[in-house]
Amino acid sequence: AQSVAQPEDQVNVAEGNPLTVKCTYSVSGNPYLFWYVQYPNRGLQFLLKYITGDNLVKGSYGFEAEFNKSQTSFHLKKPSALVSDSALYFCAVRDDNTDKLIFGTGTRLQVFP
């Protein structure tokens, strides 16, 4: 069965520092991986996805993610964090059998000034 794991409930980083939000996945076929961000009392916003091709995927708001097949990871990164990046981040994988999105448990990112 497909699954994603976000091992950190919360990540704290100082503004201007690089940030990483971790995600590992388990799939039986080719992975279709997504990152979403959720601000308080808002819906989820799509950040980026990996389907095939380059392992480094660039997305919205300066975020990028690195697909690593050998480590089955898809970590979200940003070179320089902003206070406004503080939000809840969800990693998701598309289920091979049902095409549904399977979400991780979410990681709360807190960027301190």
Partner 1 sequence: DAMVIQNPRYQVTQFGKPVTLSCSQTLNHNVMYWYQQKSSQAPKLLFHYYDKDFNNEADTPDNFQSRRPNTSFCFLDIRSPGLGDAAMYLCATSRDGRRGNEQFFGPGTRLTVL
Q: What is the smallest separation between the CB atom of 6 and partner 1, expressed in angstroms?
A: 9
Contact 62, 84 (CB under 8 A): no
Contact 17, 81 (CB under 8 A): yes
Q: What is the smallest separation between the CB atom of 20 and partner 1, expressed in angstroms?
A: 20
Place of tokens 């919360």: 10
State whether residue 65 is helix, strand or coil.
strand
Contact 59, 48 (CB under 8 A): yes
Which of 13, 19, 34, 111 binds partner 1 (CB under 8 A)? It is: 34
| 32 counts as binding partner 1 under rule CB under 8 A | yes
Closer CB to partner 1, 22 or 108, in the complex: 108
| 41 counts as binding partner 1 under rule CB under 8 A | yes
The amino acid at 41: N
From CA 5, how far away is CA 71, in angstroms rounded?
A: 13
From CA 17, how far away is CA 40, in angstroms rounded?
A: 23
Closer CB to partner 1, 70 or 97, in the complex: 97
| 108 counts as binding partner 1 under rule CB under 8 A | yes
| Total number of residues that touch partner 1 (CB under 8 A) | 23
| 5 counts as binding partner 1 under rule CB under 8 A | no
Binding residues (CB under 8 A) for partner 1: these are 32, 34, 36, 41-46, 49, 51, 88, 90, 94, 96, 99-101, 103-106, 108
